[in-house]
Amino acid sequence: MCDPPIFAQNQRMKKIGVFTSGGDAPGMNAAIRSVVRSSVHFGMECVGIYRGYDGMIQNEMAPLDARSVGRILGLGGTVLKTARSSEFLTPEGRSRAFAHLQAHGIEALVAIGGDGTFTGAHIFAQEHNMPIIGLPGTIDNDLFGTDHTIGFDTAVNSVVQAVDKIRDTADAHDRLFFVEVMGRDSGYIALKSGIASGASAILLPEDQMSMDELARILTQQEQAGKQTSIVIVAEGNPHGGAAEVARQICGRLGQLETRITVLGHIQRGGSPTCADRVLAARLGYHAVRGLREGIRNAMAGIQNDREVFVPFDLAINNKAYPNLEELRLARALSI
């Protein structure tokens, strides 16, 4: 994918704002730290905007410097908080937000979030001619134009660690476990964690495995001497979540010794992994440098280990899909 054109360096830019929006993701604090310290490195001021777009409207802003973002590198969540804003969906709300940015002398923004965050940023940038670069912060890894999103690696590792522990008790009782992971519209977490944890089967929103097929797979594994099975279910699986899948399988195979675990929001929390910290550091620096070079209305991403800029309209109107060929790998190794 081609990068947007780079214009002459904007040496006059003196102050930028940074905020987090949408669902939190491990590594957001590392991204905030990178944006702030990169701004200082380039001789600019940085203002933290609290609670996303709602904080922009409510004028919840404060200056940040290199010391104020110390010791946040390994923290989960986001020190700038995040919140939904129905008011920002209106032109009046966005105008109010822009007025507050102007009052603080903020000339450009770095928005850390996912698809909804970028949609709002795209509209805001067009309406008010505000330079904005987005950092992909979402555990779902479903943003088009970047190989990885901030938070995905940590979330997957959290799932794998949990499933490893579940397997211990499953082995002790010869039970069939159905483990539900996040992924309303994307199966990345389910697919990668399923392969890494040796799941017996993986159910994704993007795949159409029938309940009859799942029942057949579990029966074959049992006949092959497998006494413990773990099925990873993405919450957006077309047949329902883990509880519904378990109900349908028991209806086909009889009343099995089953247990259901919904991992829920533990996937969002925790200290970010090395991979997420490095990704956040790279993208934060890349975004600040991009704003100085005239890039605007784009997402900073990584493609083939190279920093790129992807226009918001491409990132928003397309979706990243997991490699479903990896399901064949998972099935081959699950026997």
3 assigned to some structural domain: no
191 and 285 both lie in a single domain? no
28 assigned to some structural domain: yes
Q: Are the C-beta atoms of 84 and 114 separated by less than 8 Å?
A: no
Rounded to 5 degrees, φ, ψ at 204 are -120, 155
98 and 232 both lie in a single domain? no
- The CATH number of the domain holding residue 244 is 3.40.50.460
326 assigned to some structural domain: no
234 and 278 both lie in a single domain? no
SS3 68: coil
- The CATH number of the domain holding residue 40 is 3.40.50.450
pLDDT digit string, tens, across residues 282-304: 999 999 999 999 999 999 999 99
pLDDT digit string, tens, across residues 172-227: 988 999 999 999 999 999 999 999 999 999 999 999 899 999 999 999 999 999 98
Q: Are the C-beta atoms of 39 and 63 separated by less than 8 Å?
A: no
pTM summary value:
0.94
Can you give the pLDDT at residue 269?
95
Q: Which domain holds residue 64?
A: 15-151+272-317
- Please measure the distance between the N-terminal and C-terminal CA atoms of the chain and give it in whole angstroms: 39
Positions annotated as catalytic residues are: 140
Alpha-carbon Rg for the chain in angstroms: 22
- Model confidence at 10, pLDDT cuts 50, 70, 90, reads low
187 and 163 both lie in a single domain? yes
